[in-house]
Structure 1
Amino acid sequence: MATLGSLVLGSPALQAQEDASAERLETVTVEAEALSLVTEGGDDYRVPQTSTATRLDLTPRETPQSVSTVTRAQIEDFKLDTLNDVLETTPGVTVERVETDRTYYSSRGFEISNVQVDGLRLPMPYNNVHGDIDTAVHDRVEVVRGATGLMSGSGNPAATVNFIRKRPTATPQASVTGSLGGDDHRRLALDVSGPLDDEGRVRGRLVAAGQDSDSYLDRLHRERGVLYGVLEADLTDSTQLALGHTWQQNDTDSNMWGALPLYDSAGNPTDYDRSTSSAPDWSYWNGETQRSFVELTQRLSDDWSLRGTVTHLDMVSDTQLFYIGTVPDADTGRIPNSFYLSKYDRHLEQWVADLHAKGDVEAFGRSHQMVLGSDWSQSRNQQSSLYAPAPEDLPPLDEWDGDYPEPDFGDPDFVNDATIKERSLYGTGKLDLADRWTAVVGARMSWLDTVGEQYGSSQDTTLDNELTPYAGLIYDLTDRASLYASYTEIFTAQTEMDRSGQYLDPIEGVSYELGLKADAFDGGADATLAVFRTEQNNVAQPNGSVNGREAYKAVDGITSEGVEVTLAGELAPGWQASAGYTYLEVEDAEGEATNTYIPRHLVRATTSYRPAALAALKVGARLRWQDDIERDRDVADGKTRQEAYALVDLMASYDFSDSLTGSLNLNNVTDETYLTSLKWDQGFYGATRHVMANLTWRY
């Protein structure tokens, strides 16, 4: 911990939080790993340690990849109550809100397909999220950009998002937060934590939140509930057991499947009002998620510990959907009968288990850190899509009230059923090579089996002995600045076959990164300048047919390269900031620009200030800016464009006492009009200017 202590010198607020955390956890004898720093209870916009990329306990300067963290302070300051809100704040990440209840995320030109919870990888089918993931249960969210196959297994070379859950505290604490805002927004959150016995060897935490709101979009209404309970018990002085369960329910009425046509039959922009929706009054998207985990940590010695974790996920979706499959008539604005009416149901069940040992090794007169482990996962994804005929046309959407005949779809039929099993062995180490040289190296060996079918396409495939290397080298220019270089990989199995009937090799994702990292502002902040290149190769492309079967060949895919600059931490006493700028170029195998719906220039920034003369007051601002984006039209000639725009949010809070805090949030101050995504050939407008008032009581 000497390195951690030296890192936080010069940051009084962070040091005070560390001291407070130490007091709360003084009875805990087993150190948490991915949870090594609790960000709640302080103002900090950075963490001095992260393990998402490698499972090693490294400072940001010791991690040879670009890492960003959205802390609890940022979440509470700007009321980032969903994953979408958090990732819209994260440098280098774009949030593609293609529908009201389905979202994709991208980084470095690729879809994000990898998620962790407390450092444990969780498979993410279809690279998207249904509904909103509530952040009430999380202490922070860490994002590692680039290929992350070492700890994530298979996926895209985009990024890994790691949710760090809140854990029980060793001293009693409680909070209640109520929020009221525009569009009849109402939210109430409760958080209670502390010891459950006199000695503090058993601790518990309960988090509950409920939200109900209308929308700036016509007819759209959302309800969300979340409940999280966790227990920790010190079974012995060296053994700790943790049990937890999270339940979340999302219910949405009049949600959009797809979105608005962005142009008419003549190619003219439709320019609907921002409130316009393509959803009938009978559409809905309801989802329930239940996630359980058990975790046992055993301290083997002063330098080594062993941890085993098993987690179970059960996710059920029930929807009725309406999709517009054409564009409005240029003369009348009416939309001809080309609609899809669907009942979509889904059941996703996952089991994930991980066992790993972590510790220090003395060799060649130097101390090194190592992790050795194995994990296993099984994901079964069942889907049912039923369709009904569309009986009539639609009037112009901005005149439509959502009235459309509701069909009878019948009962779900889960004929689309596929199971993916993945198991891996992994190892990683931080090697102290010389006084100024450090290496971070590792490898993962994976085995993957898939059986079943999805929408008439066989998913059967087997992949053995897939090696995923990781290598990084860090050179300390000074005690506060380092140069680094890294090479990371990730892979994605393919079900396509070549002309000889053999499965294609996995898609290979490779990231190269060079950068400079420094402890800036007297050690109170982390600064990074990174240059990166990311490649995706062995991508399946059609190659004729053989005996009536379509054949494929593997070709080079997308290449992205660019520059990132980030800064996070305390810039002066009371002044916190987290900011990032990304420049990105994305090209296909022919060197042509591709994925042009992703901004080439991106700025994300949050800042807050607590003046010493009035410590009860905190003010802050959030900026989200991107340059123009575009996409080719699917139906008419031409391109659809979204001009560059900036979204500015403001906040202010005041501590009326040690227990009572009031705050005000004003989002989209300039009332900017913008499309939420151009990933698809349809889109809808983002939220209008809105205000939210909040009151928090703490014990």
Structure 2
Amino acid sequence: MLCRKTRLAVAIAAACSFNHALAADGETLQLDAQTVVGSTDSTPPDSYKAAPSSAATKLELTPRQTPQSISTISRAQIDDFQLNSINDVLKFTPGISVEEIETDRTYFTSRGFDITNFQFDGAGIPFSSGGQEGAIDLAPFERIEVLRGANGLMSGSGNPSATVNFVRKRPTLEPRARVDLTAGSWDKRRIQTDVSGALTDEGNIRGRAVYAHENKNSYLDRYSREVNVFYGVLEADLSADTLFSIGYSLDKNNANSPLWGALPLFDSVGKSTDLSRSTSTAADWAWWNNQEERTFTELTHSFANGWQAKGSVTHVKKKSDSELFYVFGTPDALTGEGLFGYPSQYSADFRQWIADASIGGPFSLAGREHELVLGANWYQSEVKEQSLYIPGFSVAVPADDIYNGDFPKPPAWGSSNGGEYEDKQQSFYSAARFSLTDELTFIAGARAIELKTEGFSYGQERKRKDDSILPYAGLVYDLTEQYSVYASYTEIFNPQKEEGAGLQRLDPIEGENYEVGIKGELLDGKLNVSAAVFKTKQSNVAESVGFDPASGKQIYDGADYLSEGYELEVSGEVLPGLQVMGGYTYVDIQNADHSHGRPYAPKHMLRASTVYRIAQLPQLKVGANLSWQDDIYRAVTLADGSAGRIEQDDYALVGLMAAYDIDRNWSVSANLNNLTDEKYLSSLYWEQGFYGAPRNASMTVSWNY
């Protein structure tokens, strides 16, 4: 009988042999990483049901106990549909729009507004810029939680869109190993390995390592990308009540001929350009590399009275380097000419420290048991960026050169500009869950926050101080053993990253967020259902008003909005072997004058995924997914000053999957995306855009130990 350490060594050796087989082209693979940790809940491995989460209040609550809408994309769903990046996952999440405006920079919206809060195991800060550069690979994560609505209590800013929480994989006591080999359309090749287990005979020290490598071309002309991710984490039981964890990840995205900006979508008379799906304005010489290193430590101590203290420190290093080509202008309706090119070399370094400490547990009051959590959070973010360019070098370019990628690379860069600034935030938070009766609970909390910014950006001084106290309140009433109704309220305070005409950051968003709904746990707790109605008032929300060639940045202005809508969601096991996850969302956004605001955000959205393990043939699992949204548009100004608009009709994307377990260790699966080969614009977030991927397929062979 092999000991634990020997079995783990065998598993690691097997994983490495698979890695070596894929790299047989002779090139040395550079290991990179992202984040990893694990789930401690008892949810079955094939389940789509949401697990308990602390994303909303720092209290570990089930979805039914949480007085806000919350969705979970489980590891089972991630594996079933090959959702390898955060963009893939959020496209499957109810109420979320993935605004792919460029190939390597993405904005995310919920309820019509930007998502800027991404957390790792409940700790994080807003994006340093407005969006995500590169694409976060999901190999290191157990599941993704999406809390919709304002989350000022836990995030420090109350943008009423959503908070995305990455729940890391954690080491296991028993040895485990998994290797996935995937091949697909456009020469896609991917290997993913995951090895975990005890590192001592006593099991008091455990480790987990995750590695993924992906290399693929694209349906877009000239575009290709390579991704490398490595993650490692160790856990040690310092005593029976104290757990220490340390982890490191490295995530690298290297892109060739990426889009900076995108395609012109209308001509001089307002007619759609209707270009081919493969069309790209990227130059043949362009490239964009993004890298993130994340190191974290955690210390958790459990007291005898049920209280628990937890502290974490995270250090993040991000680096972005690129040589890019931006195309802007409006093509003439007859000749197709009228486009301009702007080349630039850009680099940026980000350094972040994030610390969080909290203590929480039960307490007795008036003869009843309640819960309390107290905590403090601090972060410091330093940004250094430099843009090299040729002064006044924004020239007319023939359309053929634009679309063929033939614009020549400048032999030298004549000038430079950039910025160096620092953000600091400190905050204190508290939340309590009072059990008023057997049926009624009341959650109350608040976060006091102070944010400072100092430095300069593109010749403009950045110096600002903002502070606020954000209250939070929620009620949950159990109607029956299966159903509860809830209501919640929070204020909105969101210091913005977007810059106005003078390259000064816009003032913070302020407002209020309300939500009421009903949630249920059915079929012996295997199925979650929910319905919610929400209303949000906001002032000074950033809206893009154009591109500034001198700095290479989008420029924004503030606007006031009223957002109202409702959501329906279901997740879990409907029938034996039949897993579902999906939801419908309706959002109506109005400007200050009550006209239709943000028409590029769909009013109606439907996301649905289902998988069925066939009872008569339990080795076989089949599934499908559907993503539908109604028509959207963006108002534009034509060359003669008249009004026009870009339109995208409603569309539906359908995907299929099938998986077969050959034996206890081996399985094979296949995925087909965009079954009907729908042609659609991936976003109208800007006046530029590009088309989503046509029909594509992949096949995966998996080995499990």
TM-based fold match above 0.5: yes
How far off is 1:511 after superposition?
1.1
Residue 76 of structure 2 aligns to a residue whose secondary structure is helix
Partner of 2:680: 674
Contact persistence 1:117–1:163 (CA under 8 A): yes
1:413-452 correspondence to structure 2 within 5 Å: 415-452=418-455
* Aligned counterpart in structure 1 of residue 693 of structure 2, from 687, 691, 697: 687
> Does 1:643 find its partner at 2:645?
no
Partner of 2:41: 37
1:179-198 correspondence to structure 2 within 5 Å: 179-198=182-201
* Aligned counterpart in structure 2 of residue 492 of structure 1, from 491, 494, 504: 494
> Does 1:472 find its partner at 2:478?
no
Give the whole-Å Cα distance in 2 for the aligned partners of 1:276 and 1:511: 41
> Does 1:536 find its partner at 2:538?
yes
> Does 1:510 find its partner at 2:512?
yes
Give the whole-Å Cα distance in 2 for the aligned partners of 1:291 and 1:413: 30
Partner of 1:378: 380
> Does 1:629 find its partner at 2:635?
no
Per mean C-alpha deviation after superposition, the further-off stretch among 261-270 and 455-464 is 455-464
Give the whole-Å Cα distance in 2 for the aligned partners of 1:655 and 1:278: 44
Partner of 1:597: 600
Partner of 1:206: 209
Give the whole-Å Cα distance in 2 for the aligned partners of 1:496 and 1:231: 38
Give the whole-Å Cα distance in 1 for the aligned partners of 2:146 and 2:591: 25
Give the whole-Å Cα distance in 2 for the aligned partners of 1:415 and 1:273: 36
> Residue type of the partner of 2:624?
A
Contact persistence 1:113–1:155 (CA under 8 A): no
How far off is 1:399 after superposition?
8.6
How far off is 1:600 after superposition?
0.3
Residue 558 of structure 1 aligns to a residue whose secondary structure is strand
- Over aligned residue pairs, what C-alpha RMSD do you find? 2.3
> Residue type of the partner of 1:253?
N
Residue 424 of structure 1 aligns to a residue whose secondary structure is strand
Partner of 1:311: 314
Contact persistence 1:458–1:495 (CA under 8 A): no
How far off is 1:391 after superposition?
8.1
* Aligned counterpart in structure 2 of residue 95 of structure 1, from 93, 98, 119: 98
Partner of 1:574: 577
Partner of 1:360: 362
How far off is 1:320 after superposition?
1.0
Change (3 A) 1:475 1:649: same
> Residue type of the partner of 2:474?
G
1:71-86 correspondence to structure 2 within 5 Å: 71-86=74-89
Contact persistence 1:123–1:379 (CA under 8 A): no
Residue 437 of structure 2 aligns to a residue whose secondary structure is coil
How far off is 1:521 after superposition?
3.6
* Aligned counterpart in structure 1 of residue 261 of structure 2, from 258, 278, 281: 258
> Residue type of the partner of 2:566?
V
> Does 1:249 find its partner at 2:252?
yes
Change (3 A) 1:688 1:605: same
Per mean C-alpha deviation after superposition, the further-off stretch among 448-457 and 507-516 is 448-457
How far off is 1:292 after superposition?
0.4
Contact persistence 1:461–1:495 (CA under 8 A): no
* Aligned counterpart in structure 2 of residue 220 of structure 1, from 219, 223, 247: 223
Contact persistence 2:37–2:140 (CA under 8 A): no
> Does 1:658 find its partner at 2:629?
no
CA displacement, residues 388-426 of structure 1 (integer Å, 9 cap, x when unaligned)? 365864443599421121014549957411111001111
How far off is 1:494 after superposition?
6.8
CA displacement, residues 411-458 of structure 1 (integer Å, 9 cap, x when unaligned)? 995741111100111111111001211111111111111111223343
Report percent identity of matched pairs. 48
Give the whole-Å Cα distance in 2 for the aligned partners of 1:601 and 1:409: 49
Give the whole-Å Cα distance in 1 for the aligned partners of 2:496 and 2:614: 56
Give the whole-Å Cα distance in 2 for the aligned partners of 1:540 and 1:44: 39
CA displacement, residues 45-84 of structure 1 (integer Å, 9 cap, x when unaligned)? 1223111011101111110000000000010000000000
> Does 1:564 find its partner at 2:570?
no
Change (3 A) 1:212 1:79: same
Give the whole-Å Cα distance in 2 for the aligned partners of 1:122 and 1:496: 16
Give the whole-Å Cα distance in 2 for the aligned partners of 1:207 and 1:56: 29
Change (3 A) 1:576 1:411: farther
> Residue type of the partner of 1:377?
Y
How far off is 1:489 after superposition?
2.4
Give the whole-Å Cα distance in 2 for the aligned partners of 1:397 and 1:269: 18
CA displacement, residues 480-506 of structure 1 (integer Å, 9 cap, x when unaligned)? 101111002231237999xxxxx9974
Change (3 A) 1:142 1:391: closer
How far off is 1:227 after superposition?
0.2
Give the whole-Å Cα distance in 1 for the aligned partners of 2:542 and 2:619: 59
CA displacement, residues 131-151 of structure 1 (integer Å, 9 cap, x when unaligned)? 110000000000011110000
* Aligned counterpart in structure 1 of residue 613 of structure 2, from 595, 598, 610: 610
Contact persistence 2:382–2:423 (CA under 8 A): yes
Partner of 1:279: 282
> Does 1:297 find its partner at 2:303?
no
Partner of 2:13: none
Give the whole-Å Cα distance in 2 for the aligned partners of 1:34 and 1:352: 21
TM-score (norm 1): 0.89
Per mean C-alpha deviation after superposition, the further-off stretch among 435-444 and 514-523 is 514-523
Give the whole-Å Cα distance in 1 for the aligned partners of 2:37 and 2:362: 14
How far off is 1:540 after superposition?
9.2
Change (3 A) 1:495 1:52: closer
CA displacement, residues 102-136 of structure 1 (integer Å, 9 cap, x when unaligned)? 10000112111111100112231222000110000
> Residue type of the partner of 2:580?
A
Give the whole-Å Cα distance in 1 for the aligned partners of 2:164 and 2:254: 25
How far off is 1:522 after superposition?
4.1
Contact persistence 1:33–1:57 (CA under 8 A): no
CA displacement, residues 168-190 of structure 1 (integer Å, 9 cap, x when unaligned)? 00100000000000100000011
Give the whole-Å Cα distance in 2 for the aligned partners of 1:603 and 1:124: 27
Residue 85 of structure 1 aligns to a residue whose secondary structure is helix
Per mean C-alpha deviation after superposition, the further-off stretch among 321-330 and 675-684 is 321-330
Change (3 A) 1:34 1:431: farther
Give the whole-Å Cα distance in 1 for the aligned partners of 2:417 and 2:47: 47
> Residue type of the partner of 2:478?
D
How far off is 1:341 after superposition?
1.0
Give the whole-Å Cα distance in 2 for the aligned partners of 1:176 and 1:196: 20
Give the whole-Å Cα distance in 2 for the aligned partners of 1:579 and 1:240: 36
Residue 435 of structure 1 aligns to a residue whose secondary structure is coil
Give the whole-Å Cα distance in 2 for the aligned partners of 1:252 and 1:78: 24
> Residue type of the partner of 1:693?
M
Contact persistence 2:444–2:472 (CA under 8 A): yes
TM-score (norm 2): 0.89
How far off is 1:267 after superposition?
1.9
Residue 123 of structure 1 aligns to a residue whose secondary structure is coil
Give the whole-Å Cα distance in 2 for the aligned partners of 1:33 and 1:138: 6
Contact persistence 1:344–1:385 (CA under 8 A): yes
Contact persistence 1:116–1:161 (CA under 8 A): yes
> Residue type of the partner of 2:96?
V
Contact persistence 1:173–1:194 (CA under 8 A): yes
Change (3 A) 1:615 1:533: same
Partner of 1:156: 159
Change (3 A) 1:595 1:628: same
Change (3 A) 1:408 1:314: farther
